[in-house]
Structure 1
């Protein structure tokens, strides 16, 4: 058994060898170029150094409460974007200010640099914290650190200016409110003072004194009414003992104690008795009878006129006959008459006293009603003054507290990490350049090799 060997083509072998030598040379040249470029980059590119620092921005607002004795409570609160569950990160405000051109330009002037040479800071907001990382690059470690220090100095000054402007605006608003509340307080105090002068009511003492006076008068009236009732009961008892009404007994006693009436009664009785004697002897038309009749009528008229004068009302002769007007009554009955007059006079006096007390009570009650209305007005004016005082004191406290609290809208910035002085350059980093050069060389070599193999397969297939 014989094996057939392929015949070698000397021309194809020479072609493959030339292609392999071409790709090897190309790979060597390409890798040499890559490595020479990397070494030249490391040698001639100026190094860059980074100064690292970090600041903390507190996230709480400020709130102050002040208790004012006998007036009320004054509260002052600065609500900031850092509180209240806002979805906006307030550190963005600080970042915007830090990256603004005026800040960077002023910081560059501190180092006698241009804005382009100074550059911009690299600011990073740490998630779920109040930390801001601030990095500055420089040609040397000290330059990078100086940029950070100049930046913080200018940044703090800018924040102080913003805070001062905010405090000034707030104080202006508080001052306007304070002036307004002060004018209202002065007006309320003036109204209260004028009302006290015109009404004469300075306090509630007069009202309490008047209430006490009315209560005392009512007690006196109750006592007088009780005494009057006792007098009425006594009058009824004496009238029952005399077997006559109190009015008739009083009329009889009044007439009996008057001398003129007694004389008129005597004259009337004598003329009437003489007329009765003459009437029994002579005819009615007899001159002596007519003359005596005229005397009797004159005595009767005088008697009725005097009784009307004493009793204050007209009374008939028949009514006078019903009264016990005889002057020879027994002493016991006479004493009852005198007691009846005394009790009747006491009752009349008590009635008059009760009426006077009623008038006084009505007058004092009218005065009480007027004073009550005045006191209500006075209390309303006092409340206005107290409210005005509370508002004025509150605005004054807010003004004082506002002046002392300048970190409400822009809290105090705290540097938690001082600007560092770099030991090694941040760029170019030799390890990064070497790794990149190796990877680049590997990719180029691999690519050339794969391309050589592909061409070899293509030539074999043909």
Structure 2
């Protein structure tokens, strides 16, 4: 048993109103051409509603041109090293802009490009307001460090100028931010550097005061004094050993000669006198004459007596001359060696020389011992001062190193201007558009055609809705 659409729908009344409503809801048959004028009127009205605003927009909308600019952030860091003679080394290193995953420099610069003060600065440079300039369109390219910036204008040249003004304002703001960062760092480090300078000056003043009071200029000077004192002690020990050796040699030679050094020196001095030697020759000649007389005559013979008297007178004269030359008395002179000629004279000279060397060595030892005692007293007095001086010099070296490091760091930080705001470069200058970007005529026409086709498709469904409803509500046979 089949059921038709007329069986399932409510039975319309015979009144005119219910028949019209049923016709509007259900529609007519496919072959009913009396409906065509109504569908044609709806199609014309819908097409007018679609194409009239679209054509009006295409005809009256102002042309807009879009200029594009590309920026790039280099991915590598930068490092610098500076060696200062006598101070040390200062290094600065700027990490790569993409070294940290917490902060994205491209996102930061994207926000900065669209900041109000940058847009206002770009508008002011062109004599426009922010609304007249328009907001930039900023787009990031995934997996790259590129930033695309788009600006619109009424003409190609105007769009290009707006893009250039925005980029110039962006770089000017970057320079201002970097300069402000450097100034802030300098201000924050200036107080610390001033404190370091005061600490260095105070330590230097204490060192100078200690130098003035003690006379010790540095710890190196004290170390030099200690080294010299130790060398002096070693030298004294050597001189003592040498003096003992000289004393033993001198004593042995005096024992061999039977004369001390003083008598030996007197003998050599006396026999160096020509007059005394001549008198000795006379004494020797008279001694020979006396010997000859004694061999021929008796002891009381006048010739023997005359020869003896001549000899004694010559000896007395020689003895008186020796007293005048040496200043010794006769008893001392009688102990002198009266035959210093030959090898004995050389031994007497050696004895005198050894005595002189011994006296000189003894005097040198005495002087060295005096110097040693004086130096020991000075070292004992300067020991405490040297320890304090060493502490002050260490403090001064540390303070000076910290001060120099702070200055070097402050100077090197001036070159590290890309630490907080990475380097950005213009990869592509603002372009000069060749055609307008708005209105897009092709897109508008395609949208109008699509809307028209959708209208016609809707009217087609309305035309065949009776057949569709009959098919949907007809139950199939069991």
2:460 aligned residue: 449
1:149 aligned residue: 164
Provide the rounded CA distance (Å) in 1 between the counterparts of 2:100 and 2:399.
Answer: 36
1:214 aligned residue: 233
SS in 1 for 2:168: helix
1:30 aligned residue: 46
1:327 aligned residue: none
User: Which of 62, 72, 77 is residue 88 of structure 2 equivalent to?
Assistant: 72
SS in 1 for 2:69: strand
Asked if 2 retains the 8 angstrom alpha-carbon contact of 1:55 and 1:415, the reply is yes
Cα deviation for residue 135 of structure 1 reads: 0.5
Cα deviation for residue 23 of structure 1 reads: 3.2
2:275 aligned residue: none
TM-score by length of 1: 0.60
Per-residue deviation, residues 339-358 of structure 1 (Å, max 9, x unmatched):
xxxxxxxxxxxxxxx9xx99
Cα deviation for residue 51 of structure 1 reads: 0.6
1:396 aligned residue: 407
Asked if 2 retains the 8 angstrom alpha-carbon contact of 1:99 and 1:120, the reply is yes
The alignment yields a C-alpha RMSD, in angstroms, of: 3.8
More displaced 10-residue stretch of structure 1: 22-31 or 382-391: 22-31
Matches within 5 A, 1:275-354: none
User: Which of 32, 35, 39 is residue 16 of structure 1 equivalent to?
Assistant: 32
User: Which of 115, 131, 136 is residue 146 of structure 2 equivalent to?
Assistant: 131
Per-residue deviation, residues 123-154 of structure 1 (Å, max 9, x unmatched):
11222332211100112222211211222222
Provide the rounded CA distance (Å) in 1 between the counterparts of 2:99 and 2:449.
Answer: 54
Over 3 Å counting, the alpha-carbon distance change for 1:363 and 1:222 in structure 2 is farther
List runs of 5+ in structure 2 lacking aligned partners. Answer: 1-27, 249-364
More displaced 10-residue stretch of structure 1: 207-216 or 23-32: 23-32
Provide the rounded CA distance (Å) in 2 between the counterparts of 1:368 and 1:227.
Answer: 32
SS in 2 for 1:136: strand
Asked if 2 retains the 8 angstrom alpha-carbon contact of 1:218 and 1:361, the reply is no
2:60 aligned residue: 44
1:90 aligned residue: 105
2:394 aligned residue: 383
2:69 aligned residue: 53
Over 3 Å counting, the alpha-carbon distance change for 1:374 and 1:154 in structure 2 is same
1:417 aligned residue: 428
Asked if 2 retains the 8 angstrom alpha-carbon contact of 1:57 and 1:413, the reply is yes
Provide the rounded CA distance (Å) in 2 between the counterparts of 1:109 and 1:122.
Answer: 19
Cα deviation for residue 446 of structure 1 reads: 1.9
Over 3 Å counting, the alpha-carbon distance change for 1:180 and 1:451 in structure 2 is same
1:251 aligned residue: none
Over 3 Å counting, the alpha-carbon distance change for 1:83 and 1:66 in structure 2 is farther
2:340 aligned residue: none
More displaced 10-residue stretch of structure 1: 387-396 or 24-33: 24-33
Question: 1:181 aligned to 2:200?
Answer: no
Cα deviation for residue 429 of structure 1 reads: 1.2
